[in-house]
Amino acid sequence: MTKINCLNPIAACGMDLFTDNYETVDNFADAEAVLVRSASMHELELSDNLLSVARAGAGVNNIPLDKCAEKGIVVFNTPGANANGVKELVIAGLMLASRDLMGGYNWVKENATVETLAKDVEKQKAKYAGNEVMGKKLGVIGLGAIGAKVANAATHLGMDVYGYDPYVSVDAAWMLSRNVKHITNVEDIYRECDYITLHVPALDSTKGMINADAMAMMKDGVKILNFSRDALVNDADMLAALDSGKVARYVTDFPNAVIAGHDKVVTLPHLGASTEESEDNCAIMAVKQTKDFIENGNIKNSVNYPACDAGKCTAASRLTVCHKNIPNMLTRFTGAFSDKGINVSDMVSKSRGDWAYTILDTAEKADADMVKTIEAIDGVVKVRVVK
């Protein structure tokens, strides 16, 4: 029976997919598979029994990916499961950026008990006038599951949409509207667009990408939306740009003490994926990926090991190996089975950066002695008999 630990509450529609072969446990140290949303795992001790971690969401900053890889713990996320929820909030962010809805709302709330409120509205409303988005240029930086949906939705609002992503996947490209203009230089987004929305991960190459130099290229009065990661924007540079009028409005889902409270900043409390539908979709995807890994050894949507799928095992046995991506590993694996007189009937091996993952189906069941033999090979991190 596989022991499952949830570091955060996971939607019942996902947890209900676990069969009687799984047991939910309260102690993290006892778990073979973990489900997590926002809880930080960086200070947790990772046991040798832990096989996988599934993040019910896209971001994995709360998980020590390298440490997990070194221990042969496969980390999954759920890309696209919350994409529609975030997309809808970004569209709301466009409206908040283009029209001073928050200023108008706050004025009405502050004057709710004034008897002349209805009459005062006609005099006051000019202070909160804004612009329409139709006909404006929107730059979408990052065309993954969320960025592509935002780009497509914006075309239906009548916006002139520019998309930038040097690493756009084939699947994402197929999902893009033909009305989205493909841009090969992000600086063209900076120079041309009235609105810019960010949809990239926080990498060394993207952290602080919206800084003084980038904003200096932008149009005066540009409006910037960040519903991706807080680290993408240099807060000090953003405040300076807001104060000078270079940036007319900054809408973000990541409030902090530096930017919160500025009259040209609209901050939301990280609501991007906070919909019942998104939480359900993430839970279902996380559980399905965990089950396929535990029951079949297959990897889909891992962030530290390669995707690797051998389907369901029809052979007598299946063994999986997390190992370093170094030469001659497959020869050593097959040689070890051959020395034991065991035929390898099928094998799938994939690599990703420093790490690789191999699935071996055999005509005879791999016993404990076979596992020890594979574990002894230099570069092997974790061996598991799935069947």
Domain residue ranges of the chain, discontinuous segments joined by +: 1-82+273-305, 84-93+131-267, 308-387
Whether 283 and 10 have beta carbons less than 8 Å apart is answered as yes
Digit-coded pLDDT (tens) for 273-324: 889 999 999 999 999 999 999 999 999 999 999 999 999 999 999 999 999 9
**366 pLDDT more than 90:** no
Reported as a pLDDT band with limits 50, 70 and 90, residue 86 is very high
Q: What CATH superfamily is the domain 308-387? A: ACT domain (3.30.70.260)
The dotted CATH code for 84-93+131-267 is 3.40.50.720
pLDDT for 167: 85
For the chain, the maximum distance between any two Cα atoms, rounded to a whole number of angstroms, is: 92
Strands 222-226 and 247-252 come out as parallel
Residue the block writes with tokens 């004034």: 114
**151 pLDDT more than 90:** yes
Q: Could you count the other beta carbons within 10 Å of the beta carbon of residue 23?
A: 14
| Section 190-205 average pLDDT | 95
| pTM: predicted TM-score of the whole model, two decimal places | 0.82
Whether 35 and 63 have beta carbons less than 8 Å apart is answered as no
The dotted CATH code for 1-82+273-305 is 3.40.50.720
* Dist CA 325 CA 289 (whole Å): 23
**117 pLDDT more than 90:** yes
Nearest Cα residue to 266 out of 139, 84, 92 = 92
| Section 111-130 average pLDDT | 93
Six token digits for residue 208: 């602080």
Whether 49 and 73 have beta carbons less than 8 Å apart is answered as no
pLDDT for 173: 82
pLDDT for 64: 97
Whether 1 and 28 have beta carbons less than 8 Å apart is answered as no
Nearest Cα residue to 41 out of 11, 3, 71, 83 = 71
**Chain-wide mean pLDDT for the chain?**
95
* Dist CA 238 CA 121 (whole Å): 32
| Topology alike, domains 84-93+131-267 and 308-387 | no
pLDDT for 219: 98
Reported as a pLDDT band with limits 50, 70 and 90, residue 203 is confident
**59 pLDDT more than 90:** no
pLDDT for 171: 78
Reported as a pLDDT band with limits 50, 70 and 90, residue 111 is very high
